[in-house]
Structure 1
Amino acid sequence: MRLDLLAELNAVRDARRAACIVTELASGDQRLVIEPEASDPFAEKIRNAFASGKSTTAESIDGKAVFLNVHVPSPRLVVLGAVHVSQTLAPMAATLGYEVTVLDPRTAFAAPERFPGVDLVAEWPDVALPRLGLDPFTAFAALTHDPKIDDPGLSAALAAGCFYVGALGSRKTHAARRDRLAATGVKAADFDRIRAPIGLPIGAASPAEIAVSIMAEITAALRKPEIRA
């Protein structure tokens, strides 16, 4: 790989962005793709490779064969609320390869003994989230059911373009949330990205089952971004 291409790739990876090195197999020519343009003959293949996180080969209509070497940041999960659901969700996500942070300003909830081995932050979201650096490879789940905590977190997650943004609460609760966030400047199109009630509709009843439904919905958002629940 050319040194200039390697330097550009490393800069993209440091910024936690997806990148693809497209190598023409016949000539060895290489190029770096970050945002595939519609005119790119391999645009769909690159987008699919970004979604799966797996490198692959591809062939254009004119028979040009290439290798798509994808570099995708490790997915992260930020859970707002050190609640019972989070106690199952955090280790489950870690098992699936997510870097997990549980955030809750309520120190009675954010106790290390309740979340062994988990990155636990006992701060308000407006203080902690800028430091954590939300991005498009971060999933965000607001579980406190407290507007003073959840609302600032949801606004930050939407602004950062998190690939998944979910919130606990009924449809009635979510309607009231819409009014509150609209008053703070959140646009309707952005608000509609929030998955609420959070989790796939599998009839979950216990905290552990709710955690399963959330993790399944996050997985679908990561691997099948074209599907909306």
Structure 2
Amino acid sequence: MELETLAKLNAARQARKAAVVATDLSGGPVRLILEGEPVPGPLGQEVAKAFRSGKAAMAEVDGRSLFLNVHLPPPRIVVIGAVHISQALARLAPVAGYDLTIIDPRTAFATEERFDGVELIADWPEDVLRERPLDAYTALAAVTHDPKIDDFALSEALRVGCFYVGALGSRKTHAKRVERLKEMGRTDEEIGRIAAPIGLDIAAASPAEIALATLAQVVQAFRRRDLVTDG
């Protein structure tokens, strides 16, 4: 790999941007393709498959054999709220390969005793996310039921394009949330991305079941996320 390509790849990694390195096995040029970069024709289709699977693959394009090496940022889950659902989700997420961070300014809930071994930040989301911004490889789950804590994080997740945004609450609760998010500048299209009530509909009743339904929905959203690779 040429030094210029390697430098661009390292820059993409630091910025948590996905990339595919397409190597022509017949000795042609090596091409670095960033996720979101328009790629026309059959190559665009093959690159989209590679981004979605996250696995290296061979591809035949226009009579050429290409090796597509995929570099994805580690997907992560940010949970707003140190509640019982969060405790269960913290145990389940690593099994599916997701790093998880919990943010909650309520120090009575955000304790090491309740979240042993979990990355837990007892501070306001607006302060935390300023230093540790969300991105397209982050799933956000807001589960406090408190607009003062949830709303900023939800708005920010929609603004930056998190691949999944979910919020706990009834339809009535969500209708009020929609109005608040509009006042914060979010569009109807952005707000329509919120999974509310959170999680796949498996008739979940307990915190553990809600956590399972949420994780399943996160995985589904990640594998079905929109990719711009054709144009």
**TM-score under structure 1 length normalisation:** 0.95
Distance of 1:133 and 1:126 partners within structure 2: 10
> How far apart are 1:40 and its partner, in Å?
4.7
> How far apart are 1:41 and its partner, in Å?
3.1
Moved over 4 A (4+): none
Output one character per residue of 1:105-161: Cα deviation in whole Å (capped at 9) or x when no partner: 100110111001111000111111111221000000000011111111101111121
* Corresponding residue number in structure 2 for 1:16: 16
The one-letter amino acid of 2:202's match is I
Structure 2: 5+ residue runs without aligned partners? Answer: 227-231
* Corresponding residue number in structure 1 for 2:31: 31
Output one character per residue of 1:44-87: Cα deviation in whole Å (capped at 9) or x when no partner: 22122112111101112x32110100000001110000000000
Q: 1:40 to 1:32 in 2, by over 3 A?
A: farther
Instruction: Please give the residue correspondences for 1:115-134 in structure 2 after superposition, counting only pairs within 5 Å.
Output: 115-134=115-134
Corresponding residue SS for 1:59: strand
Distance of 1:224 and 1:188 partners within structure 2: 21
**Percent identity for Structure 1 against Structure 2:** 54
* Corresponding residue number in structure 2 for 1:194: 194
* Corresponding residue number in structure 2 for 1:154: 154
Instruction: Please give the residue correspondences for 1:1-229 in structure 2 after superposition, counting only pairs within 5 Å.
Output: 1-34=1-34, 35-60=36-61, 62-225=62-225
> How far apart are 1:95 and its partner, in Å?
2.3
More off after superposition, 37-46 vs 88-97: 37-46
The one-letter amino acid of 2:59's match is A
Higher relative contact order (CA 8 A, sep 6+): 2
Corresponding residue SS for 1:139: strand
Distance of 2:41 and 2:148 partners within structure 1: 45
The one-letter amino acid of 1:44's match is Q
Structure 1: 5+ residue runs without aligned partners? Answer: none
Corresponding residue SS for 2:63: coil
Say whether the 8 Å CA contact 1:36–1:46 is kept in structure 2: no
> How far apart are 1:16 and its partner, in Å?
0.4
Distance of 2:37 and 2:131 partners within structure 1: 29
> How far apart are 1:38 and its partner, in Å?
4.3
**TM-score under structure 2 length normalisation:** 0.94
Say whether the 8 Å CA contact 1:202–1:213 is kept in structure 2: yes
Distance of 1:185 and 1:36 partners within structure 2: 27
The one-letter amino acid of 2:119's match is D
Say whether the 8 Å CA contact 1:81–1:103 is kept in structure 2: yes
